[in-house]
Amino acid sequence: MTDRYKYMEDLLNRFFSGETSNEEERELYRFFAGEDIPAHLRRYKPVFSYFESGLEKELNLLTGEPAEAAEPFRRAMPKRRIRIAAGMAALALILSVAALLFLRKANAFDPYEGSYIVRSGVRITDTSLIRPEIEATIQKALQQEERANRLLLSLSASNPETRIEQIQRRINRQNEEIINRFPNEMKESIRRIIENK
Amino acid sequence: MKQEQFKEEALPLRAQLLFYAQRLLNNPEDAEDVVQEVFLKLWYMRDELGAYNSVPALSVQITKRLCLNRINARQRRGEGLDAVNPASDLLTPEALLEQKDSVTHVMRIIAQLPALQQTILRMRHIDGFEVEEIAALTGSAPEAVRMNLSRARKKVKETFFKMQS
């Protein structure tokens, strides 16, 4: 009998190392299902009853399937849906940015906004009507400015002495014009007043 | 799907999955466990595999998820919660009472094991596969499967011994 117990103890150890075959395990189940078990092995009785039948009952009570086997399958769909949703969101974003740019262009900033021209007492505020006139005026003003600049430039280009002479000559010419407007007998006295002599 | 067909279609992916798991987990034993689990999951899904566009892509997805689960579990273990929880769960008087009740006690034993160990127990004890056959399905060395089987059985034994004391 002790030989049999020794054999069973050996099977027991190999069972918990994962080394027994199906056949050997059936032997273990039979042994622990019986009544002839030495005291020190008795506590294994429920353990082997579990491996023989309890395990299956538990699995059947759970789901009948390993707990997570279906998990990736269920997750695959929402992921695809998220991709579609992301695509739609991106499209909506692109469209709204395009619309924004388009509207911006339509309402482009008008520098002449609020300008008006008064013609024969009527105030014209329609910018589309007065725009050509405003632009022509601005062109003229710019040309004027340009000419003034050119004059200043030519003045500053020549040396200071000749510049003073030029100015003096111009003043003299203007004085002469003013004096010429007066009758001959007054010219001498006017000249004296203007030239401060 | 027959066993042979499964081996032919799924197992060529093994090296690639192992490499991937190894890169994510940086631990050869964990990577081996993950790959075992991936193939066992695929095995239990074998009849639905035709519904997927690409089985290699599916296997990579499963591998990635299992690896991330493991990384999360590691972090929990780092906080010391993993070690405390199951033990204290067993020792509360309510839990002991529940386990002594014959109906509920069948429910709580295998549910505490990691998924891979649950699956191996199921294949071994219910589907009647030998260790060598499981190893062939997962492309693993029989020792690697045996180690997980051994851990699972010992855990079950300890659970029963705790209930008896």
Rounded distance, CA B114 to CA B86, Å?
Answer: 12
Phi/psi for B47 (5° steps) reads -80, -15
What pLDDT, on a 0 to 100 scale, did the predictor assign at position B68? 92
pLDDT band at A138 (very low <50, low <70, confident <90, very high): confident
Q: Which helix (H) or strand (E) holds A119?
A: strand A117-119
Say if the Cβ atoms of B45 and A66 lie within 8 Å. Answer: no
**Where on the phi/psi map is residue A121: left (φ > 0), alpha (ψ -120 to 50), or beta?**
left
B60 contacts B14 by C-beta, under 8 angstroms: no
**ipTM > 0.90 for the complex:** no
What pLDDT, on a 0 to 100 scale, did the predictor assign at position A193? 82
In chain B, the percentage of residues whose pLDDT exceeds 70 is 81
Q: How many CB atoms lie within 10 A of CB A174?
A: 11
**Residues of chain A contacting B110 with CB distance shorter than 8 Å:** 55, 58-59, 62
**Shortest distance, CA B32 to any CA of chain A (angstroms):** 17
What pLDDT, on a 0 to 100 scale, did the predictor assign at position B96? 60
Q: Please indicate, yes or no, if residue A123 is contained in any of the structural domains.
A: no
> Among B45, B162, B156, which Cα is nearest to A58's?
B156
Say if the Cβ atoms of B126 and A56 lie within 8 Å. Answer: yes
Q: Please indicate, yes or no, if residue A15 is contained in any of the structural domains.
A: yes
**Residues of chain B contacting A11 with CB distance shorter than 8 Å:** none
Residue in chain A lying closest to B107 (CA):
A58
Say if the Cβ atoms of A58 and B107 lie within 8 Å. Answer: yes
The angle subtended at Cα A41 by Cα B83 and Cα B113, nearest 5°, is 25
Say if the Cβ atoms of A67 and B125 lie within 8 Å. Answer: no
Q: Please check the confidence at residue B25 and state whether its pLDDT lies above 70.
A: yes
What pLDDT, on a 0 to 100 scale, did the predictor assign at position B83? 47
Residue in chain B lying closest to A48 (CA):
B157
Q: Note whether A82 contacts B: Cβ–Cβ < 8 A.
A: no
Residue in chain A lying closest to B64 (CA):
A72
Say if the Cβ atoms of B128 and A57 lie within 8 Å. Answer: no
What pLDDT, on a 0 to 100 scale, did the predictor assign at position B150? 93
Q: Please indicate, yes or no, if residue A11 is contained in any of the structural domains.
A: yes
Domain that holds residue A44: 2-62
Average pLDDT value over all residues in chain A: 81
Q: Note whether A73 contacts B: Cβ–Cβ < 8 A.
A: yes
> B75-124: per-residue pLDDT in tens?
876 655 444 444 444 556 666 665 555 545 455 778 788 888 988 998 89
Say if the Cβ atoms of A44 and B157 lie within 8 Å. Answer: yes
> What is the mean predicted confidence (pLDDT) over A110-124?
80
Q: Please check the confidence at residue B141 and state whether its pLDDT lies above 60.
A: yes
Q: Which residue has the higher pLDDT, A47 or A67?
A: A47
**Residues of chain A contacting B126 with CB distance shorter than 8 Å:** 55-56, 59
Q: Please indicate, yes or no, if residue A92 is contained in any of the structural domains.
A: no
In chain A, the percentage of residues whose pLDDT exceeds 70 is 86
Domain count, chain A: 2
Q: Please check the confidence at residue A163 and state whether its pLDDT lies above 50.
A: yes
Q: Please indicate, yes or no, if residue A168 is contained in any of the structural domains.
A: yes
**Residues of chain A contacting B34 with CB distance shorter than 8 Å:** none
Q: Please indicate, yes or no, if residue A104 is contained in any of the structural domains.
A: no
Q: Please check the confidence at residue B43 and state whether its pLDDT lies above 50.
A: yes
Q: Please indicate, yes or no, if residue A90 is contained in any of the structural domains.
A: no
Q: Please indicate, yes or no, if residue A40 is contained in any of the structural domains.
A: yes
**Shortest distance, CA A88 to any CA of chain B (angstroms):** 24
Q: Measured between CB atoms, which of B126, B147, B156 is closest to A18? A: B147
Q: Measured between CB atoms, which of B145, B148, B161 is closest to A43? A: B161
Q: How many CB atoms lie within 10 A of CB B20?
A: 20
Give, rounded to a whole angstrom, the gap between the first and last alpha carbons of chain B: 46
